[in-house]
Amino acid sequence: MSKPFVDVAAGLILKPDGALLLGQRPEGKPWSGWWELPGGKIEPGETVLQALARELKEELDIEVTQATPWVTYIHEYPKNIVRLAFCKVTGWEGSPQGIEGQQLAWVDPQGHIDVGPLLPATEPPLRWLRLPQQYLLTSIGNPENLDGFLERLERSMKTGVGMVQFREPEWAAKSDLASSLEAAFRAVLGVCRSYNVPCLVNSAHPADWWADADGVQVRSADAKTFTRTLPAEKWVGVSAHSTEELARAQPIGADFAVLGHVLPTTSHPGQPALGWDAFETMAQTAGVPVYAIGGQSPETLLTAQQHGAHGIAAIQGLLTT
């Protein structure tokens, strides 16, 4: 017998300091006593954001004024299958109250969660919230550019870059520069460490670097054969240009995906961009947070998030001059 399939809108209600609201399921409901993200079933004819606003009014007596779609995630429980449309709620009127008698708690998703147990489907978004909104890809090119790049990298970390990917395919193609390439990786990693910023390495580079980095960004071609062996605390991202490539993210254990190119860019001359509508449609299928890449900069961040992106990824667009 097939299990019932339920569509749910769930809200990550976030204060400006990053605190997140969790609610405890009241007595008499399935999983009573467990903690979850507020929300509920999407009724026929409702959009996700309409359902979320209604549910948060009914559950917490707040009026949502600012919310954006984030990740659509499917979780199978013993008695049903739930498709959760997670949304970030960053604006509301009123003070959240447990209208159904449920306990509420503000928690720090970047630290220890001191309430529990958590519903199984609540755990993945708490990890995803640790991903920063701005993801910088390196493009140093050769040893002569390294010192200047490191200076710009430090300035970029001071202005919002929260994660870096070491990605130097052109440099890697020059076998006589292999030692200088590794030295550049170590130098970039050192700067990231000094600012407590995660540094991932692209899968084009030697696998024995991955353990030293904070994770790996898997190229779309490599995702076909990639098997996750990294510890759980390391990040794994997958690069994608299509729905088919995005579909590889969850099976390989990726924590996030990078999708593009969204807007026209000089690095893809003559190749049509996805555009925001196509990006949003594709991102909804990923099951993990998705970064928009291609023509991105801090000025496009809000637009990206309004179309379901976790954040933006870029080379020059995030590198401070």
Written as one letter, the residue type at 14 is L
Return the closest-CA partner of residue 289 out of 133, 116, 77, 111.
133
Q: How many Å separate Cα 175 from the centre of its chain?
A: 34
**CA 312 – CA 321 distance, rounded (Å):** 18
What pLDDT is recorded for position 245? Answer: 97
What pLDDT is recorded for position 1? Answer: 59
Instruction: Provide the token pair at 59.
Output: 């559950």
Task: Name residues of the chain where pLDDT drops below 50.
Answer: none
State the DSSP string of 30-48: TTTT-EE-SEEEPPTT--H
Q: Are 220 and 241 in contact (CB under 8 A)?
A: yes
Identify the three-state secondary structure at position 150. Answer: helix
Q: Which tens digits make up the pLDDT trace of 70-97?
A: 999 999 999 899 999 999 999 999 999 9
**CA 38 – CA 104 distance, rounded (Å):** 10
Multiple choice CATH, 134-318, 2.40.128.260, 3.30.70.260, 3.20.20.70, 2.40.10.340: 3.20.20.70
> Boundaries of CATH 3.90.79.10 in the chain?
5-123
Written as one letter, the residue type at 228 is R
What pLDDT is recorded for position 2? Answer: 83
What pLDDT is recorded for position 143? Answer: 95
Residues in the chain: 321
Neighbours of 60 (CB within 10 A): 24
What pLDDT is recorded for position 119? Answer: 96
CATH 3.40.50.11890 fits 5-123, yes or no: no
* CA-to-CA dists, residue 25 to 109, 117, 174, angstroms: 19, 11, 58
What pLDDT is recorded for position 175? Answer: 81
Residues paired with residue 85 on neighbouring β-strands, in sequence order: 9, 72
- Specify the residue for token string 């009573």: 32
DSSP label of 241: S
What pLDDT is recorded for position 193? Answer: 97
> Boundaries of CATH 3.20.20.70 in the chain?
134-318
Q: Are 215 and 230 in contact (CB under 8 A)?
A: yes
**CA 163 – CA 142 distance, rounded (Å):** 22
Q: Which tens digits make up the pLDDT trace of 121-131?
A: 999 999 999 99
∠ CA 200-295-262 to the nearest 5 degrees? 90
Q: Are 13 and 21 in contact (CB under 8 A)?
A: yes
